[in-house]
Chain A
Amino acid sequence: MEKLVVSVNGIPEQGGVEATSVQKLEPAPQKRKAGASSGSPLRKFATHIAPPLIVLILFLGFWELAIRLADVKPYLFPKPSDIVKAAAENGHNLLVSVRTTIVEAVLGFAFSVILGVAFAIVLALSKTVERSVYPYAIILQTIPIVAVAPIIVIWFGAGMNAIVMIAFLIAFFPILSNTLIGLNSTEANMKNLFYLYNATKWQTIWKLRIPAALPYILAGMKISCSLSVVGAIVGEYIAGIGGLQGGLGYAITVASTRLQTAYLFACGLSAAVMGIVFFLLINALSNRLLRSWHDSAING
C-alpha cells in the first residue's frame, strides 16, 4: 500500500509536465468518450463500449465455468455467481459498509483538497518558506501510513475521526505537491505582465497563478480521490468501528475471519467500484472545468 502511494506521487514529482501525467491517468473509456463525441451513439457503442464489454463477459464466463468444472470450494475461490449471491444475501450490510466508507473517503478527500491547496499557496507565496518547509513535507510523506496509524488512533480515538484522518493523510501529499508545481510553473512572461501592470501579490495568486495551476490541482485530485478510498479502508482495518456502522475494511476483516470468501470478494469489488466511480467523477469535473481552455481536456 505504501509503495503505491510513493510511486503515484512520483509522477508529478519527476515529470513536472502535467499534461502527460494527466493523460496517463485518463481511463480508457472516458478518453474515448471525449474523442468520439462526433460519431453516432451506435457507432460509439460498437467501437468503444462493446469490445471491453465482450472481454468482461468472456472473462466472467470462463471464471464461472473453470471453478464449476474443477469443483473448487466457494470459501477457497468463489465463482461470480457465489459472489453475486453473497452480495444479495448481505445486501443491507454491504450497503451500510459502502456508505460508511464513502463518507470517510469523501471527508478525507475533501480535507486533503482544502488543506493541500491552502498549504501549497502558503508555500508558493514565499520562496524562503517553501525552501525551509517543503523538505519536511516530503520526509513526512515517506513515513508509511500503517506505522503512523496507531498513533492517530491514540490521538483521535478509534473510529470515524481516526479513519478520516488516515484517509486525509494518504490523499494530502499528491494534492500539495501537484498544486505547488502548478503554482510555480506560471509562465515567466505572464508573471512579468502582471508585475508590469502593478498587480499585488494576491492579485497575481488569484487571477494568474491559481487558474494556471488548476490543471495540476485537478491532476492531483485524480490521484488522491482513489487514494482516499484506500486510506479509508486501511483506516478501518486499524481503527475500525465494529457493529452495524463498520465500513468495508471492517466488513472485509470480519468476512475473512469467518471464511465468508464470497462476501469478502463482494466487499473488495465494491471498494474497487467505489474507487473507479470516485475517479470518474473527478475526471468528469476536471474535463468540465478545463474543457474550454486546457489541452489535456480538449485533446483527451
Chain B
Amino acid sequence: MNSTMLAGSSPGMPAPSGEPSGILVGMQNIGKTYPNGTIAVQNVNLLAGEREFLCFVGPSGCGKSTIFNMIAGLTDHTSGELAVLGTTPKDARKQNEIAFVFQEHTLLPWSKLIDNVTMPLTLRGVSKKERIQEGERVLELVGLKDYMKVLPRQLSGGMKMRVSIARALISRPKLLLMDEPFGALDEITRQTLQDELLNIWCSDRKMTVLFITHNVFEAVYLSTRVVVMTPRPGKVADIVDIEAPFPRTDDFRSSPEFGGYVHAVNESLKH
C-alpha cells in the first residue's frame, strides 16, 4: 500500500534512491485535529529516507511534537496516509526498530545508569548477560562507561541527556525520533552533544534521525535536510537541503556556507 502511496511527488522526496524500501516514514496529506477541535497539522507531505538526518523547525505550537507522536503511534492521525517502516505506526512500534528521546531525560530515578539504558532490552526479555554487554557498549558511546552504577540524580543535565541517548541507541534502531533533546541545555553542552550525536550517527550511518529543534543553527549544523513548518495549523513550508559533507566540525559552523543555509531557513520561517 505504501509503495503506491509514496510514489507520488512530494516536497520531501529525497535524493533519487528510488526504492520504496528506502523510505522509513511516508506522510501523505497528513492532518491531525485534536478532539477539542484544535487543528494541529494539515496536509503534511514528507518522506524520510534511509540514513537521513532530518531536522524540524517551526514556531511553537505548529505541530512538530504532534507529528512525532503520530509516527510513534502515541496519537492517531485524523486524515491522510501515514506509513512507518512500511506499515502502520502501531505495527512499526512492535518491530523494536524505533527509539525516542524526549526533551526531559525520562530516566528512572531509582535505577542505576546501566539499568536505565538497558530498560528497552529488559522489557523485551533479553538475557542479562547480553543486556550488560549492550549497556556497556552504549554507555561507552556516550562516554559514561565509568558511571554504570550511578543513579541519575548524581549527573548533570548534559550527562542525563547522554544517558537518554544511550538508552535510545541500545536497540540499534533504524529510526530515532528526538523531540527537542537539547532544548534545556546550555550552549556549550549543546554543541558538544551535537558533535557527539553526529559522530555516532556518522560512524555507520545506519539510522535515520528525525530531530525537532527551535534552534536554526542546530538544525543546519546537524541535518541533511531541514524541514521548515508554518504556524498552526502546521504545514511543510519548505525543505532546505544541507549539502555540506560529514563529518562536520566547528569549521562548518563558522563557514559562509553555514551562514547561507541559516539565512535560507530563516527566510522560509518568516515566509
Q: Counting CB contacts under 8 A, is B78 at the interface? A: no
Closest approach, in angstroms, between the C-beta of A251 and any C-beta of chain B?
44
Contact A196-B110, Cβ < 8 Å, known A189-B102, A203-B123, A292-B151: no
Q: Counting CB contacts under 8 A, is A194 at the interface? A: yes
Q: Counting CB contacts under 8 A, is A273 at the interface? A: no
- Residue contact A189 to B104, C-beta cutoff 8 Å: yes
Closest approach, in angstroms, between the C-beta of A198 and any C-beta of chain B?
6
Considering only residues 3-31 of chain A, those with a C-beta below 8 Å from chain B are none
Considering only residues 147-201 of chain B, those with a C-beta below 8 Å from chain A are 151-153
- B74 CB contacts on chain A under 8 angstroms: 192, 195-196
- Residue contact A293 to B109, C-beta cutoff 8 Å: yes
- Residue contact B109 to A193, C-beta cutoff 8 Å: no
Q: Counting CB contacts under 8 A, is B47 at the interface? A: no
Q: Counting CB contacts under 8 A, is B106 at the interface? A: yes
Which of A189, A192, A196 contacts B98, CB < 8 Å?
A: A196
- Residue contact A196 to B100, C-beta cutoff 8 Å: yes
Q: Counting CB contacts under 8 A, is A190 at the interface? A: yes
- B106 CB contacts on chain A under 8 angstroms: 187, 189-190, 193
Q: Which of A190, A197, A199, A203 has the most CB of B within 10 A?
A: A197
- Residue contact A193 to B153, C-beta cutoff 8 Å: no
Q: Counting CB contacts under 8 A, is B202 at the interface? A: no
- A190 CB contacts on chain B under 8 angstroms: 106, 108
Which of B108, B110, B120, B153 contacts A197, CB < 8 Å?
A: B120
Which of A196, A198, A207, A298 contacts B124, CB < 8 Å?
A: A198
Q: Counting CB contacts under 8 A, is A52 at the interface? A: no
Q: Counting CB contacts under 8 A, is A144 at the interface? A: no
- A189 CB contacts on chain B under 8 angstroms: 102, 104, 106
Contact A197-B119, Cβ < 8 Å, known A189-B106, A211-B108: yes
Considering only residues 191-242 of chain A, those with a C-beta below 8 Å from chain B are 192-199, 203, 207-208, 211, 214
Chain B contributes a number of interface residues (CB within 8 A of A) equal to: 22
Contact A293-B102, Cβ < 8 Å, known A196-B93, A198-B96, A203-B123: no
Q: Counting CB contacts under 8 A, is B94 at the interface? A: yes
Closest approach, in angstroms, between the C-beta of B166 and any C-beta of chain A?
14
Q: Counting CB contacts under 8 A, is B48 at the interface? A: no
Which of B73, B104, B123 contacts A194, CB < 8 Å?
A: B123
Q: Counting CB contacts under 8 A, is A33 at the interface? A: no
Q: Counting CB contacts under 8 A, is B27 at the interface? A: no
- B124 CB contacts on chain A under 8 angstroms: 197-198
Q: Counting CB contacts under 8 A, is B262 at the interface? A: no
Contact A198-B102, Cβ < 8 Å, known A192-B74, A293-B151: no
User: For the complex, what is the distance from the CA of A194 to the CA of B106, rounded to whole Å?
Assistant: 10
Contact with A along B64-96 (1 / 0, CB 8 A): 000000001110000000000000000001101
Considering only residues 109-127 of chain B, those with a C-beta below 8 Å from chain A are 109-110, 119-120, 122-124
Q: Counting CB contacts under 8 A, is A48 at the interface? A: no
Q: Counting CB contacts under 8 A, is A294 at the interface? A: yes
- A195 CB contacts on chain B under 8 angstroms: 74
Which of B100, B120, B153 contacts A293, CB < 8 Å?
A: B153
- B120 CB contacts on chain A under 8 angstroms: 197
User: For the complex, what is the distance from the CA of A190 to the CA of B98, rounded to whole Å?
Assistant: 16
Closest approach, in angstroms, between the C-beta of A242 and any C-beta of chain B?
48
Query: What residue of chain B has the Cβ atom nearest to residue A294's Cβ?
Result: B109
- Residue contact B123 to A199, C-beta cutoff 8 Å: yes
- Residue contact A193 to B100, C-beta cutoff 8 Å: yes
Query: What residue of chain A has the Cβ atom nearest to residue B121's Cβ?
Result: A197
- Residue contact B109 to A197, C-beta cutoff 8 Å: no
A-B contact pairs, 23 of them (CB 8 A): A189-B102, A189-B106, A190-B106, A190-B108, A192-B72, A192-B102, A193-B100, A195-B74, A196-B74, A196-B100, A197-B119, A197-B123, A198-B93, A198-B96, A207-B108, A208-B108, A211-B108, A214-B110, A292-B151, A292-B153, A293-B109, A293-B151, A293-B152
Chain B residues packing against A (C-beta within 8 Å): 72-74, 93-94, 96, 98, 100, 102, 104, 106, 108-110, 119-120, 122-124, 151-153
**A196-B72, A298-B153 known; 19 other A-B pairs, CB under 8 Å?**
A192-B74, A192-B100, A193-B102, A194-B123, A196-B73, A196-B74, A197-B96, A197-B120, A198-B96, A198-B123, A198-B124, A207-B119, A207-B123, A211-B110, A214-B110, A292-B151, A292-B153, A293-B109, A294-B109
